[in-house]
Structure 1
Amino acid sequence: MTPADLSLTVLHAVRRAVDEGALRVDVPARVKVERPRGGGVGDYASSVALGLARPAGRSALDVAAILKERLRECPGIRAVDITGPGFLNFSLDGDSDGRLVREVLDAGGRYGYSDALSATRVRLLPATEVRAALVTETVLRLLRAQGADAAVGPEGERMAVLAAPADFSLQALGDDAGRWALLRPAAHDHVLAGPPLLVQHERNPLFRVRYAHARARRLLRNAEQLGFSAAYEERVDAGPLVALLGDHPAVLLSAARLRAPDRVARHLEAVADALLAFQHTVLPLGDEKPSAAHRSRLALAEAAGAVLAGGLSLLGISAPDQI
């Protein structure tokens, strides 16, 4: 069960509770699930019960208990626990990581695309200032990736962004570095200094993101030379990497809803850093023979590379196979 699957499962439980008369609330459009915070347990958690408590006229603990009864027998969920004032915590079955990796690899660069905004029509005003124009273009791409009917129109909303300095030149930096300089900061922040983004060094976040993608591709080529390929066969310790891949669809959706490409850029930095920390475990060392663990780690690295490539594509930035 992926985070997106879990979100829909919880939403169906809310709808079922309403249909059965156990809750009297409007069913929300979506339910957010995320990694448990301090005091939480399991693989994922949701605060949906806290949000429904007041309109339902019940305590959050009561709402959580009602939903728990409708969730604990669902396929893919091993256990449901209630913590704190009413957080639902989910422990998934042992192959949840494998399903996530396979979902990413099946979708490739389109992992995280959805029809969540298929009923949404968005019109953005055309912009001439370089940063506003680029943000508008990127937001349209993000919205369409979530199924929205999005276009530039004369009566649309204006993208409120802090303008680039008068001497900023997209051409001088090159398309990739220039786009990162304009899109990585939040709309109310100043654009990034251009020259540091041209340096191939770990202090350069754009370099780290693109280099991490290139490393994922290199690992696949090296593994082929060693006679094995990617296949997620057993759960492996990958630090935060799996969680970050699972969070990717929610990041893309929130970036589209909030008109915030910087959220995608920040997420890609986190994925890149996690992959670069993980990469050293992927290939066999010395006389070590390739094992199921190596094949699983390679599949995870390949999935991370797909997420990086897809995210960069949405920002209009290239993802080279070699750096």
Structure 2
Amino acid sequence: MTPADLSLTVLHAVRRAVDEGVLRVEVPSRVKVERPRPGGVGDYASSVALGLARPAGRDARDVAAILKDRLREAPGIRAVDITGPGFLNFTLDAGDGTGVLREIARTGLAYGHTTALAGTRVRFHASTEPRAALLAETAAALLRAQGADAGIDTGLGDDQDGDAERLPALPAPYEPHLLGVDAARWALLRPAAHDRALPGAPLLVQHERNALFRVRYAHSRARALVRNAAQLGFAPSYETADAYAHTHARAHASAPAPTAAPAHAPAPPAPLPTLLGDHPAVLLLAARHRAPDRVARHLEAVADALLAYQHTVLPLGDEKPSAAHRSRLALAEAAGTVLAGGLSLLGISAPDQI
């Protein structure tokens, strides 16, 4: 189950409660799900009950309990917990991780591309400022990946420049002649538009402190793992949940107990399967908010999770390839595909070897 699937499932539970007369509220157009904050549990969380509490005239925890009853048997959800003032926390079935991997294998670089914004038409102002122009070009690509009709207003034909959307950005030069296309684009797109562009020189250094290098290196490692596995006589397998269960269990075993986390503590890093499942939602939000930096940050998280996981993929010493190795290889291959697809939307190359 992807975050988008979970969002629709929760929305359906709200609609059921309203149709049954248990909740007297207007059904929202969408429900936001995200990774749990400190003090939460499970894979994802939603604050929908808190938003419905006041219009329903009920306590948020009561609203959460009503929704929990209607989510208890939903396919793909193993457990629903209520935490804090009324947050719903979801633990997904581990086996669903293979569904995400199979979807990535099926769609390839287009994983996360949807028709969610079909029927939406957006034209961006053709700015002469380099960073604003690059931001508009990339935002248009993200919107098209979600089914929108998006492009840059040329001032010709039916396009009227006065109606075009302007994307404000802190000005910065675009310098592919000095940095190369990849580093030049990352320098302008990785920070939020209102933040300063990244200095170019550090992006040319092949070092772990360079996030662009980590992302592209992680992609090359994923491809190398598949090549190395072929030399050992085995290929990725998408038939079992071993890879998902392995990282899912390890991440939860190492996470601190929810009651021990102070309110200001950052959330623990998400396991690789969760990050891959998040990818479609990240692309959709990046398109809606015209925020390529969201994609870049997500790719960094995927890369870091893959680099921390890669040592488990191939057999060691005299160890023979097993079903677990084949499923872990599928997870690594899927991560490489997500990295390549995300970089492509940013206009950045993903070399197979670095």
Give the TM bin, normalised by the shorter chain: over 0.9
1:201-236 CA deviation, whole Å, 9 max, x = no partner? Answer: 222111111110010000000001101111142222
| 2:262 aligned residue | none
Query: Gaps (5+ residues) in structure 2?
Result: 154-160, 252-270
Q: Does 1:314 align with 2:345?
A: yes
| 1:224 aligned residue | 230
- For residue 191 of structure 1, report the CA deviation from its aligned partner: 1.3
Aligned Cα RMSD in Å?
A: 1.6
Which has the larger displacement, 37-46 or 134-143?
37-46
Please give the alpha-carbon distance, in whole angstroms, between the structure 2 residues aligned to 1:118 and 1:27. Answer: 22
2:164 equivalent among 144, 150, 156? 156
**Contact 2:2–2:278 under 8 Å retained in 1:** no
| 1:81 aligned residue | 81
Please give the alpha-carbon distance, in whole angstroms, between the structure 1 residues aligned to 2:108 and 2:172. Answer: 33
Q: Does 1:194 align with 2:225?
A: no
| 1:173 aligned residue | 179
Please give the alpha-carbon distance, in whole angstroms, between the structure 1 residues aligned to 2:175 and 2:41. Answer: 49
**Aligned residues with identical type, % of pairs:** 75
| 2:259 aligned residue | none
Give the ranges of 4+ consecutive aligned residues of structure 1 lying more than 4 Å apart after TM superposition. Answer: none
**Contact 1:35–1:43 under 8 Å retained in 2:** yes
- For residue 76 of structure 1, report the CA deviation from its aligned partner: 1.6
**Contact 1:236–1:296 under 8 Å retained in 2:** no
- For residue 251 of structure 1, report the CA deviation from its aligned partner: 1.4
**Contact 2:247–2:273 under 8 Å retained in 1:** no
Q: Does 1:261 align with 2:292?
A: yes
Please give the alpha-carbon distance, in whole angstroms, between the structure 1 residues aligned to 2:87 and 2:195. Answer: 34
- For residue 298 of structure 1, report the CA deviation from its aligned partner: 0.5
**Contact 1:202–1:208 under 8 Å retained in 2:** yes
TM-score (norm 1): 0.94
| 1:2 aligned residue | 2
Matched residue count: 321
Matches within 5 A, 1:25-40: 25-40=25-40
- For residue 147 of structure 1, report the CA deviation from its aligned partner: 1.9
Please give the alpha-carbon distance, in whole angstroms, between the structure 2 residues aligned to 1:270 and 1:77. Answer: 24
- For residue 274 of structure 1, report the CA deviation from its aligned partner: 1.0
- For residue 119 of structure 1, report the CA deviation from its aligned partner: 4.3
When residues 52 and 118 of structure 1 are mapped into structure 2, their CA distance, relative to the original with a 3 A threshold, is farther
Q: Relative contact order (alpha carbons < 8 A, sep ≥ 6): 1 or 2 greater? A: 2
Q: Which amino acid aligns with 1:236?
A: H
Classify the secondary structure of the residue corresponding to 2:79.
strand
Matches within 5 A, 1:1-323: 1-153=1-153, 154=161, 155-165=163-173, 169-232=175-238, 233=240, 234=242, 235-237=245-247, 239=251, 240-323=271-354
Please give the alpha-carbon distance, in whole angstroms, between the structure 2 residues aligned to 1:55 and 1:9. Answer: 21
Query: Gaps (5+ residues) in structure 1?
Result: none
- For residue 126 of structure 1, report the CA deviation from its aligned partner: 1.1
When residues 91 and 319 of structure 1 are mapped into structure 2, their CA distance, relative to the original with a 3 A threshold, is same
Please give the alpha-carbon distance, in whole angstroms, between the structure 1 residues aligned to 2:70 and 2:59. Answer: 17
